């Protein structure tokens, strides 16, 4: 280290400030290590109740999950919430700091912004089922002069797929007509890791979870974006995508199992292609009437 950086610079390095906190945390981390190595499974699958009848059964079983390393970090897992017969499901990435504390998805700053964007799109949050691809809060701890802070860390693909049996079980109960993936983690959990949000945002396709599935921006992307212009652009795109989702939800009959639907049938024939307009009353309409007549056999 002396070779890389003369000693007189050490006290002013930002990393140096983290050292006392890291050292203080060593005994706890050492104690946890053998547990971690021994008790974590490869997937959540063995912990998900087989053929659950309701969401409460899943909710009760979730804290017992040891399907990935996040299950051992002491954070509380958060299942989705909303009506089990919701036609639209919103899928986020993972609970944040406030969601973990409250035990509910999207209640922190990103959630408040989401509520506002939903209203602009004419959607009532209470009518939607809202959940996350990963049920634990993946985070890193930053030590500041005022104490420790838990900072969001994007969950790795492996964690997302280890946690996926919970999402599979939730959405098998809800069986949404329309799934909206918020951000690329949710979209990759649904369409696979090659999904690219910037290229495929707003494109509706069928997925393993819903006959109409599309991805849009995550509200946290709006919060993080720099400059009012970019933020307005992202917000407009999100509102547009959510209006299309709302319109599609009014048109897609609930199938006995959406998995039997032909992928190309859905996105091409049922989604509005014309400009989406929003009436004063908050109802959603779109420019093309062609799709309104389409039905799923």
Which residue ranges make up the site for ligand URA (CB under 6 A)?
Answer: 92-96, 99, 105-106, 108, 110-111, 132, 220
How is residue 192 written in tokens? 């696979």
Alpha carbon distance 210, 51 (integer Å): 19
Do the Cβ atoms of 182 and 217 come closer than 8 Å?
yes
Q: How far is the CB of 185 from ligand URA (least distance, A)?
A: 7
Q: Which helix (H) or strand (E) holds 165?
A: helix 157-174
Bridge partners (DSSP) of residue 21 are none
Report the residue number, 105 or 176, with the smaller CB distance to ligand URA: 105
Report the residue number, 71 or 189, with the smaller CB distance to ligand URA: 189
Question: How many CA atoms lie less than 13 Å away from 130 in the CB half-sphere?
Answer: 22
Report the residue number, 222 or 296, with the smaller CB distance to ligand URA: 222
Residue 292 neighbours by CB distance under 10 Å: 14
Q: How far is the CB of 152 from ligand URA (least distance, A)?
A: 8
Q: Which residue minimizes CB distance to ligand URA?
A: 92
Report the residue number, 215 or 271, with the smaller CB distance to ligand URA: 215
Q: How far is the CB of 203 from ligand URA (least distance, A)?
A: 21
- Residue 75 gets which letter from DSSP? P
Angle at which helices 157-174 and 184-191 cross, to 10°: 70
Alpha carbon distance 226, 234 (integer Å): 11
Report the residue number, 95 or 211, with the smaller CB distance to ligand URA: 95
Q: How far is the CB of 260 from ligand URA (least distance, A)?
A: 30
Q: How far is the CB of 130 from ligand URA (least distance, A)?
A: 7
């Amino acid at each position: 280290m002396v070779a890389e950086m003369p000693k007189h610079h050490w006290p002013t390095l930002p990393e140096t400030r983290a050292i006392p906190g890291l050292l203080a945390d060593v005994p706890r981390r050492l104690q946890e290590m053998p547990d971690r190595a021994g008790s974590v499974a490869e997937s959540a699958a063995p912990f998900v109740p087989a053929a659950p009848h309701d969401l409460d059964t899943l909710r009760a079983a979730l804290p017992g999950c040891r399907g990935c390393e996040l299950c051992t970090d002491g954070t509380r897992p958060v299942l989705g919430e909303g009506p089990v017969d919701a036609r639209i499901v919103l899928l986020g990435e993972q609970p944040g700091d406030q969601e973990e504390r409250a035990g509910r998805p999207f209640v922190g700053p990103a959630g408040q912004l989401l509520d506002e964007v939903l209203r602009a799109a004419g959607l009532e949050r209470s009518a939607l089922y809202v959940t996350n691809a990963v049920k634990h809060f993946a985070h890193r701890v930053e030590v500041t002069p005022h104490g420790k802070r838990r900072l969001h860390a994007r969950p790795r693909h492996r964690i997302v797929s280890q946690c996926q049996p919970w999402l599979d079980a939730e959405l098998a109960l809800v069986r949404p007509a329309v799934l909206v993936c918020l951000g690329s983690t949710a979209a990759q959990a649904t369409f696979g890791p090659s999904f690219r949000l910037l290229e495929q945002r707003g494109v509706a396709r069928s997925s393993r979870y819903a006959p109409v599935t599309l991805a849009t921006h995550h509200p946290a992307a709006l919060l993080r974006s720099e400059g009012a212009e970019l933020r307005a652009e992202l917000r407009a795109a999100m509102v547009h995508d959510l209006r299309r989702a709302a319109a599609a939800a009014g048109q897609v009959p609930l199938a006995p199992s959406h998995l039997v639907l032909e992928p190309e049938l859905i996105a091409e024939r049922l989604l509005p292609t014309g400009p989406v307009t929003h009436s004063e009353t908050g109802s959603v309409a779109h420019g093309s009437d062609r799709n309104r007549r389409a039905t799923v056999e």
